Amino acid sequence: MDIAAVLLDMDGTLVDSTAAVERAWTTWALEYGVDPADALAIAHGAPADRTVRRLLPGLDDEAVAVSAGRQLALQYDDLSDVVAMPGAAELIAVLARRGLPWAVVTSADVRLAKLRLDAAGIAPPLLVTVEDVRVGKPDPECYLLAAKTLGVPPEKCLVVEDAEPGLVAGRAAGMQVLAVGGDLSLHDVAEAAA
């Protein structure tokens, strides 16, 4: 692989926030009369407003914004078990040793991203959030923005992701994509560091 920059997803890739995400979506679903299993099946890796639109297609834009805001508020206050993923520190150290620029590219808003990254002890040199783009993942805009900001052509970027919306976004951006977690290509970012 000819890699000049690495673009890392946050939740499930660098930061273990799965329990917090699932608690927040479960609480939200119960408040809004949605089956929590339906919410959890599509929420990972997608912006809150996109998930709300899919779960409650009858809402107008204002109601979607209010509903997504409620869902995010539940996540802002739930950081008790948010930590760095196994191997995150090793991967960041490898990037530093190799002098590879890197960024965190997330479907979270800037407030949630900073809270979770701080809780995990990770300080990215560049942070691209859903607030920086018109459309979140699976649209490739977020990854293209990160590459442009780092001054690296998309084809020389490696996207490291754990969720389908991010994998789709990376591929659509014309970038090399590495899937981690679950039944995907690698178990965790420690394997990516190796």
Q: Which of 9, 16, 109, 188 is catalytic?
A: 9
Q: Which of 11, 49, 109, 139 is catalytic?
A: 11
Contacts of 165 (CB under 8 A, 6+ apart): 45, 46, 107, 136, 137, 138
Is 77 assigned a catalytic role? no
The three-state DSSP-derived secondary structure of 120-145 is HCCCCCCEECHHHCCCCCCCCHHHHH
pLDDT at 182 over 70: no
Domain residue limits, the chain: 5-16+82-193, 18-76
**Angle 3-142-138 from CA coordinates, rounded to 5°:** 100
pLDDT at 11 over 80: yes
pLDDT at 187 over 70: no
Over pLDDT 90: what percentage of the chain?
Answer: 85
Name the pLDDT band for 46 (thresholds 50, 70, 90).
Answer: confident
Name the pLDDT band for 56 (thresholds 50, 70, 90).
Answer: very high
pLDDT at 184 over 50: no
The whole model's pTM is what? 0.86
Is 183 assigned a catalytic role? no
Q: Which CATH number does 5-16+82-193 carry?
A: 3.40.50.1000
- pLDDT, one tens digit per residue, over 127-177 is 999 999 999 999 999 999 999 999 999 999 999 999 899 999 999 999 999
> What integer is the mean pLDDT of 13-24?
94
